A and B are shown apart, each in its own frame.
Chain A
Amino acid sequence: MNALVTESRFADPDRAYRALIEAHRGLTDEESAAFNSRLVLILANHIGDQAVLQDALDLAKRGETCSETRS
């Protein structure tokens, strides 16, 4: 069974991050939320593995506990 990979995989992670940021430039907050939802669906399908998706969901939940929202 495949496991969720959490090691760094991009050759240049900074560029990958920048690509994510840039894709949102010029969008309203609502448009950004919609964009991200589409993106998550695309990536989830690319993973195509229910167990891996579940691991990713769990990791994202864990991140939530220490990320307080700010106004």
Chain B
Amino acid sequence: MNTRKVLYQFGYQRCRDQDSPSPVRHPVVVVGAGPVGLCTAIDLAQRGVRVVLLDDADRIGEGSRGICYAKRTLEILDRLGVAEPCLERGVTWKLGKVFQRAELLYAFDLLPEDGHKMPAFINLQQYYLEHALVERAAELPNLDIRWRNKVIAIERRDDGAMLTIETPEGAYSIDADWVVAADGARSALRDMLGLAFQGEVFEDRFLIADVKMQGDFPPERWFWFDPPFHEGRSALLHKQPHDIWRIDLQLGSDADAKAEQAPERVIPRIRQMLGHDDFALEWVSVYTFQCRRLERFTHGRVVFAGDAAHQVSPFGARGANSGIQDAENLAWKLALVVKGEAPEDLIDSYDLERSAAADENIGHSTRSTDFIAPRSAQELRFRDATLALARHATFAKRMVNSGRLSMPSTYETPLSTPDVDDWSGSARLGAPLPDAPMRDRDGQPVWLLEAVGNEETLLHVPNGEPPPAGSNVIVIGRDLIDETGLFAQRFDARPGSTYLVRPDNHLAARWRHATPALIAKASRRLRGFEGEQA
């Protein structure tokens, strides 16, 4: 059935490069204007890099697709200036419930503590996020989005690549110092470079249906094993804005994808689940999935990000979230390299850090899929035994896996300076800073992550000695007031404690007693100058 709606349409516009006698050279060309490409381009442009963003389509909004955006992603979106419209529109949630048959097995809370600007998750149709990103992109004069510009050939060189681009008015070529391939799971650039995309294929088919209805379910993630309305299989229910509900039903491996999408097949299934038929179908899709990745995300001056680099099953909301975290990891590094402020091999740390994150995401999503869609009689027995024991034993409850929801990765990376002191608290070396509510010099409330912003930053707790020098130094108690004590608690902060923060808000180094030499060394290291020194 065709329930797909085009929500936002953009126009193709001829650009000057098409009239140039020889290919125009650009520092960075991003291919693919999905969430990952848009975030990469916006982040680069915000950092003062000129970016061309190419997309083969000219519209967004075909299906709601990815709907769950995690706290860390929202923090990134906030830095990019688009969190507000997303939060306004999105459904905020943090509670999940897991049912077996009609009975509640357990509930979980994804953000049990206060004092963070961003919620654990919001649900939002992907096209709303993309639209907010496109609007933000339009505000940036150094970001040039070109719709209906389809890359049909790439020729790599040591110092860049030549792209041939097809448009409604014929083909043209441009030269790029760097190419970011964010062209999705079916990446054309990946195929053009002949790169293998390997991993595990899952046979089970799943039905996604977005339905419009007035429901009295709360804004929580509900997951059923073997529900009475869909025996022997699993089901998932999520709330989206505007009374739209995401229903995800396991169909099994022998289901016929085409037949299952027919309204006469879909409607009875949903009627059975909801107990009424007072709903309208918004979008239906049948999918299978694969967990796979490129062996390397960097191929000379061509860098892969998001689904083009790695693909996961949807359980755990790790696709779009990890892709946006790729974008943020790459953007600051690429900006430094393009401006000549960091060595080119800083980009290798993108491959290292985001490969490890991809493995983590693939691992979680594979293990969730094993549990949700057992492949053999024995796997089903293990699964059902775990569910049966879950009522009696906490170890079994902990093993019940309906999807482990996206969390940011903690990087074990040469860019970090290993701790020499002992630290407690929730801040971890290599992880994004935990947020905290603060007040600025004028007593106005400000979040820690807002104050840290885009740049490499030092946070320092005074101890009577002069604070470290530098343009991005925040002295706690002077520039930011820790009224609630949550900063001190989360960072295990004491007089003299000093923290070096990367431009992507990950913690790069910390000391109980920092010296200018230690700080300078760690700062060089996080920019890739001293990575080889352990």
Contact = CB atoms under 8 A, between A and B. Distances in A.
Nearest to A23: B378
Interface residues of B, number: 32
Interface in B369-401: 370-371, 375-380, 382, 384-389, 391-399, 401
13 contacts: A8-B395, A13-B399, A14-B399, A15-B363, A16-B399, A21-B379, A24-B378, A29-B378, A32-B378, A59-B389, A60-B389, A62-B392, A64-B388
B420 to A, nearest CB: 25
Contacts of A32: 376-378
A14 B404 contact: yes
A13 B393 contact: no
Contact of B371 (A6, A17, A36): A17
Chain A binding surface SS class: helix
A16 B479 CA distance: 47
B394 A7 contact: yes
Contacts of A59: 389, 392-393
B48 interface: no
Contacts of B375: 25
A13 B387 contact: no
B399 A6 contact: no
B232 interface: yes
Interface in B414-455: none
B225 to A, nearest CB: 12
A27 interface: yes
B179 to A, nearest CB: 36
Interface in B336-387: 363-364, 366-368, 370-371, 375-380, 382, 384-387
Interface in A21-51: 21, 24-25, 27, 29, 32-33, 36
Contacts of A64: 388
A14 to B, nearest CB: 5
Contacts of A24: 376, 378-379, 382
Contacts of B387: 67
A15 B367 CA distance: 8
A28 to B, nearest CB: 9
